[in-house]
Amino acid sequence: MIGVMNGKKSAKFHIFKNKNIRRNFWDSMLFLSPSLVVFTVFIFIPIAMAFYLSLMKWDLLTADRQFVGLKNYIYYLTNPFFYKVLLNTVYFAAAHIPLDLIITLGLALLLNQKLKGLSFYRTIYFIPVISSMVAVSAVWIWIYEPESGGLANYVLGLFGISPLGWLHDPHWAMPAIILVSVWKGLGYNIVIFLAGLQNIPDIYYEAARIDGANAWQQFRRVTLPLLSPITYFVILMGIINSFKVFTQIEVMTPEGGPLNSTTVLNLYLYQEAFHKYRFGRASALAFIMFAIILIITKIQRSVSHKNVHYE
């Protein structure tokens, strides 16, 4: 008798639970539907389409459309100009990231000494970060002006250095853009590093001091290891953002600079797609770019497993 009762009760409970689950499911679907629709139409379908396009000859201007298989990929991978563009991008990343890292870490360390005026300095350093990249690029075009009137050459002149062609010189166009990029982004990484430094508990330093560690040893043995997750994050974002760099380059050197010295991957993609309207081919380039970013992220992750210390 008791057993039957129990059975009935649990069956009833079971139905209740099922109903609850079903209600939860439909409520969830209702709540998720706006984002799911946007993601589907504007992210998932475009990815599938991009892959399909990358296998096609698809020129918007000539309305010429046909399946060409991997030809678009082969076109880029056997094209010396693609490698020049890739090299330009790597150049940007390889110069920008270490420069940025050293300066921002150095400044964050200086600011972290419980200094008077910390928030004042931080405020100032952050101004380029929040201002418009296009406006900033505009003023730097003017600063780099090689004719008289250019501030950059005037400053060089004060140190007795002869004037440079800056954005008009194939050797200097890229360094000029890197300089602007470092200048623009400094404040951001300083804030990130400062937050990381302030999270390191004082006891570690006290312990190190008791063991007789000097300032350098404290930095080397305490600060750097405990900061490594942040450093890893900054480097990873630096690499990803370097491969996506576009605005300052497009504004300062719209055609990719003298002798294409500033044509980076993203600008090349933009030109192929929206100047020449070669949508099929450009889609292949987009996938190559994506693959490069994924590979770098993977490599970085495996390197970091060995070198990043979590508390």
Please report, as residue ranges, which positions from 155 to 184 form the binding site for other proteins (by CB under 8 A).
183
Residue 8 or 290 with smaller CB distance to other proteins = 290
Site membership for other proteins, residue 218 (CB under 8 A): no
H-helix or E-strand spanning residue 66: strand 64-67
Residues 229-268, interacting with other proteins (CB under 8 A): 233, 237, 240-241, 244, 246-247, 250-251, 254, 266
CB 252 within 8 A of CB 138: no
Taking residues 91 to 120 in sequence order and writing x for each that binds other proteins by CB under 8 A, - otherwise, the string is ----------------x--xx-x-x-x-x-
Out of 57, 84, 145, 304, the only residue in the binding site for other proteins (CB under 8 A) is: 145
Q: What is 15-48 written as a DSSP string?
A: HHHHHHHHHHHHHHHHHHHHHHHHHIIIIIHHHH
Stretch near other proteins under the rule CB under 8 A, chosen from 38-46, 80-88, 94-102, 164-172: 38-46
Kindly state the DSSP code that residue 245 receives in the 8-state scheme: -
Residue 61 or 130 with smaller CB distance to other proteins = 130
**Measuring CA to CA, how many Å separate 27 from each of 14, 19, 22, 32, 47?**
20, 12, 9, 9, 28
Out of 65, 84, 122, 221, the only residue in the binding site for other proteins (CB under 8 A) is: 122
Residue 174 or 197 with smaller CB distance to other proteins = 197
**Measuring CA to CA, how many Å separate 201 from each of 104, 116, 226, 236?**
21, 21, 10, 25
Out of 108, 143, 226, 264, the only residue in the binding site for other proteins (CB under 8 A) is: 143
What phi-psi label fits residue 25: left (phi over 0), alpha (psi between -120 and 50 degrees) or beta?
A: alpha
Dist CA 300 CA 240 (whole Å): 11
Out of 87, 161, 195, 303, the only residue in the binding site for other proteins (CB under 8 A) is: 195
Stretch near other proteins under the rule CB under 8 A, chosen from 66-74, 77-85, 219-227, 275-283: 275-283
Residue 139 or 299 with smaller CB distance to other proteins = 139
Q: Please, what's the b/e burial string for 6-23 (b: 16 or more CB within 10 A of its CB; e: otherwise)?
A: eeeeeeeeeeeeeeeeee
CB 144 within 8 A of CB 167: yes
- Contacts with other proteins by CB under 8 A: the residue count is 87
Residue 6 or 25 with smaller CB distance to other proteins = 25
Site membership for other proteins, residue 13 (CB under 8 A): no
Out of 75, 82, 121, 204, the only residue in the binding site for other proteins (CB under 8 A) is: 121
How buried is residue 99: exposed, middle or buried, by Cβ count under 10 Å (0-12/13-18/19+)?
middle
